[in-house]
Amino acid sequence: MKKMKIRKRSVGYCGGAFGDEGKGRVVDEKVNHLAKFGPVIVFRDNGGANAGHTIELENGTRVALHQLPSGIFCQEAIVILGKGMVIHPNDLVSEIEKVRTLAGTKMSRIMVDEMAVLSLDTHRAYEFCLKKWEEGGKGSTGRGISPAYADVLYRHPLRIRDLMRNDKEKIDKHYKLYEAFASGLGEKLEKIKVPVFGSDEMINVGTLDVFRDRLLATKNKLEPYVADLGHFIRNTWRNMSYSFVIEKSQAVGLDYRYGVYPDVTASDTTFEGAVAASEGVIDVNKLEKRVGVIKATYMSSVGSRILPTVMEEKRAVKIREDANEYGATTKRPRGIAYLDLPALKFYRKVGKITSYVLTHMDIVYKGEAIKVCVGYKKNNETVEYRPDQEFLLEVTPEYREFPSWSKVKLQKAKKYDEIPIEAKRFIRFLEKELRARVLMITTGPKRNQTVVVKRKNNY
């Protein structure tokens, strides 16, 4: 059989658990590394303002990105907001302005696919109505993500190109539809309060005139970034002088097909989403690496899902404070759970992850073993993960314990050889279980606190 041809200098990053694993920082580092070889395309294809990718700038400032991909602070990068995204134009304009102030001339070029879908205040308001009405939606970030994706399935989305065409008729029709939805659920659309970028304040959706004017006011500001990206993606993917980085948002454990249903997000959080968003141009099988980013010693989850390995609150509180486990988008305290191998294995398989980056390797406590769930039992029988909350409520996790390691020694390490032996053994254990190599670990929140996993004989 013919061997699959790999595209040189191409890599994808996805969340391997339930989000907030620290992808932003990993992508930022990779983009800056690849920039030494020439221009880098950073392609984001899913999600919208629900994401929160935190990165630390060289001067120590920490920035949470929401809609902009993480290569944005690298001058040699071109960041693409792809067709599979749902974009809130007002929030995006504010985010670009904020990043421009911080980045100055070091900002990358931004390109927004004119086919990307709009996720608007109407969607946020409708999500608010739905949250009151139904059970399943109560975990959402309130950024109107699922109603915007639902518009696509209903075949009536508003797209960036509609905004660029000043299509008032379509915008008005959209507002009236959502006004009817809200009114059907007993709410008045114009009076519903929705979140705004970078502020704790909420604003009213407003009347049709207010809504339309606010939206159209973003047209001129966004226009310089918007293009028909079909040819551009094709040309740069084929042109080997460009490096390619796929930055996924959210995580496989939040995917609407594979995550803990019903508290899932509406987008394709696997690498396959990049295939659809590039209209088949990007072949993710040809990526040099498809990297899953996971936390090394625990998992975090924000939403209403109940994970089988949820940690006792006393222990969870400690981790939450030490690792600042509060939502970058909603500031909600994150739930903390033990590492769940049955779930992670499933996400690796369906997410087609080929290697890992382990973050938060420094979250260990002297004399406290690291507990890892190695299997589930249901009615005394061994069972595997299934993407269904009801099922997961009925399983009993089985744990194995591992000795922790010295945080001080870990944080002093500059090379893999220097990390504590217990940490090395733990990494080897995860590699064996997940059947994938660990490429890098992070040993603290600072930009330079990373160690590449390089062993003699390459293993």
Positions touching ligand IMP (CB under 6 A) are: 19-20, 50-52, 139-141, 143, 145-146, 250, 254, 263, 265-266, 302-303
Cβ neighbours, 10 Å, residue 409: 15
**Alpha carbons within 13 A on the beta-carbon side of 269:** 28
CB of 253 to ligand IMP, least distance (A): 9
Compute the distance between CA of residue 32 and CA of residue 15 in angstroms, rounded to an integer: 20
Question: Could you tell me which residues are beta bridge partners of residue 370?
Answer: 402
Instruction: Answer whether 265's CB lies under 8 Å from 145's CB.
Output: yes
3-state helix, strand, coil in the chain (%, to 5): 40, 20, 40
Our CB check for ligand IMP shows the closer of 39 and 335 to be 335
User: Which is catalytic among the residues 28, 45, 53, 123?
Assistant: 53
Determine the residue type at 318: K
CB of 141 to ligand IMP, least distance (A): 3
Our CB check for ligand IMP shows the closer of 19 and 397 to be 19
Residue number of the CB closest to ligand IMP reads: 303
Is 53 known to be catalytic? yes
DSSP secondary structure string for all residues of 245-263? EEE--S-GGG-TTTSSTTS
User: Which is catalytic among the residues 20, 113, 263, 362?
Assistant: 20
Contacts of 305 (CB under 8 A, 6+ apart): 18, 139, 259, 260, 263, 389
Instruction: Provide the residue count of the chain.
Output: 459
Compute the distance between CA of residue 423 and CA of residue 458 in angstroms, rounded to an integer: 18
CB of 272 to ligand IMP, least distance (A): 18
In terms of DSSP H, where are the helices of 217-336? 219-222, 230-238, 272-277, 313-322
Our CB check for ligand IMP shows the closer of 39 and 387 to be 387
CB of 145 to ligand IMP, least distance (A): 4
Beta-strand relationship, 86-87 and 117-118: parallel
Our CB check for ligand IMP shows the closer of 53 and 386 to be 53
Compute the distance between CA of residue 9 and CA of residue 245 in angstroms, rounded to an integer: 8
Our CB check for ligand IMP shows the closer of 329 and 355 to be 329
Our CB check for ligand IMP shows the closer of 39 and 253 to be 253
Which contiguous run of DSSP H or E holds residue 43? strand 40-44
Cβ neighbours, 10 Å, residue 66: 23
CB of 396 to ligand IMP, least distance (A): 24
CB of 448 to ligand IMP, least distance (A): 25
Catalytic residues: 20, 53
